[in-house]
Amino acid sequence: MSTVAANAPGAAGGGLQDVAASEASLRRFLHGLPGVDAVGLEARAASLGTRSIKTTAKAYAIDLAISMIDLTTLEGADTVGKVRALCTKARNPDPSDPSAPRVAAICVYPDMVATAKAALEGTAIQVASVATAFPAGRAALPVKLADVADAVAAGADEIDMVIDRGAFLSGRYLSVFEEITAVKEACRRPDGTYAHLKVIFETGELQTYDNVRRASWLAMLAGADFIKTSTGKVAVNATPPVTLLMLEAVRDFKAQTGIQIGVKPAGGIKTTKDAMKYLVMVNETLGDDWLSPEWFRFGASSLLNDLLMQRQKLTTGRYSGPDYVTVD
Partner 1 sequence: MAKTNKKAEEQPVQPVQPVRKTGLFEYAPAPESPAAAGDIATSYGHFIGGEFVDSSGSEALKTVNPATEQVLAEFAQGTEQDVDRAVAAARKAFTDWSALPGSERAKYLFRIARIMQERSRELAVLESIDNGKPIRESRDFDVPTAISYFFYYAGWADKLDYAGYGANPRPLGVAGQVIPWNFPLMMLAWKIAPALATGNTVVLKPAETTPLTALRFAEICRQAGLPKGVVNIVTGDGRTGAALTAHPDVNKVAFTGSTPVGRSIAKQIAGTRKKLSLELGGKAANIVFDDAPIDQAVEGIVNGIFFNQGHVCCAGSRLLVQESIQDELLDALKRRMGTLRLGDPLDKNTDIGAINSAAQLARITELTAIGEAEGAERWAPECELPGAGYWFRPTLFTGVSQAHRIARDEVFGPVLSVLTFRTPTEAVEKANNTPFGLSAGVWTEKGSRILWMANQLKAGVVWANTFNKFDPTSPFGGYKESGYGREGGRHGLEAYLDV
Catalytic residues: 160, 228, 264
Q: Which is nearer to partner 1, 73 or 310 (CB)?
A: 310
Which of 1, 2, 4, 14 binds partner 1 (CB under 8 A)? It is: 14
Binding status of residue 239 toward partner 1 by CB under 8 A: no
Smallest distance from the beta carbon of 11 to partner 1, in angstroms?
5
String marking each residue 214-233 x if it binds partner 1 according to CB under 8 A: --------------------
**Residue of 237, 188, 244, 194 whose CA lies nearest to 216:** 244
* Rounded Cα gap, residues 243 and 246, in angstroms: 5
Is residue 148 within 8 A of residue 159, CB to CB? The reply is yes
Which residue type sits at 257?
Answer: T
Smallest distance from the beta carbon of 275 to partner 1, in angstroms?
13
Q: What does the DSSP assignment read for 57-121?
A: HHHHHHHHHHHTEEEE---TT--HHHHHHHHHHHH-S-TT-TTSPPPSEEEE-GGGHHHHHHHTT
Question: 86 exposed, middle or buried (CB, 10 Å; 0-12, 13-18, 19+)?
Answer: buried
* Rounded Cα gap, residues 59 and 268, in angstroms: 22
Which of 12, 114, 163, 227 binds partner 1 (CB under 8 A)? It is: 12
Binding status of residue 61 toward partner 1 by CB under 8 A: yes
Binding status of residue 136 toward partner 1 by CB under 8 A: no
What SS3 state is found at 326?
A: coil
Binding status of residue 27 toward partner 1 by CB under 8 A: no
**Residue of 239, 247, 308, 244 whose CA lies nearest to 274:** 239
Size of the site for partner 1 (CB under 8 A): 50
String marking each residue 246-285 x if it binds partner 1 according to CB under 8 A: --x--x--xxxxx--------------------x---xx-
Binding status of residue 52 toward partner 1 by CB under 8 A: yes
Work out the angle at residue 97's Cα, subtended by the Cα atoms of residues 91 and 100, and round it to the nearest 5 degrees: 55
Which of 1, 18, 28, 92 binds partner 1 (CB under 8 A)? It is: 18
Binding site for partner 1 (CB under 8 A): 8-15, 17-21, 34-37, 39-41, 43-44, 50-58, 60-61, 64, 181, 248, 251, 254-258, 279, 283-284, 286-289, 291
